[in-house]
Amino acid sequence: MGANNEAVWGWHVAPANGTNQRAPLAFLIHGGPQSSWYDAWGSGWNFQSYSAQGYAVIAINFHGSDSYGQNFTDS
């Protein structure tokens, strides 16, 4: 849950090695203030590149992110 007890969305990508063991975490924060993590290839912050190196990835679209309506962006 995010601010105002509202749901926020994001991405979780497991390490590519496929194990259930603990892995280092890359917690990625996008720029903005009005931006989002999208379902698209990105050369700067590519989730799969982190995953291939053994990292678990979390990337949250926190309040202020775009693509979820203007009320969410303004909150």
Between CA 66 and CA 45 the distance in angstroms is: 18
Q: Enumerate the domain spans of the chain.
A: 3-74
- CA distances from residue 14 to 28, 51, 75 in whole angstroms, order as listed: 14, 6, 30
Residues 6+ apart with CB under 8 A from 13: 47, 48, 50, 51, 56, 57
Query: Is residue 65 over pLDDT 80?
Result: no
CB 68 within 8 A of CB 9: yes
- Mean pLDDT of all residues belonging to the chain: 80
pLDDT tens digits for 6-30?
777 888 999 998 878 899 999 988 8
Residue 61, helix vs strand vs coil: strand
What's the pLDDT score for residue 5? Answer: 80
Q: Read off the pLDDT band of 72 (50, 70, 90).
A: low
Can you give the pTM of this predicted structure? Answer: 0.74
The structure tokens listed for 64 are: 């202020």
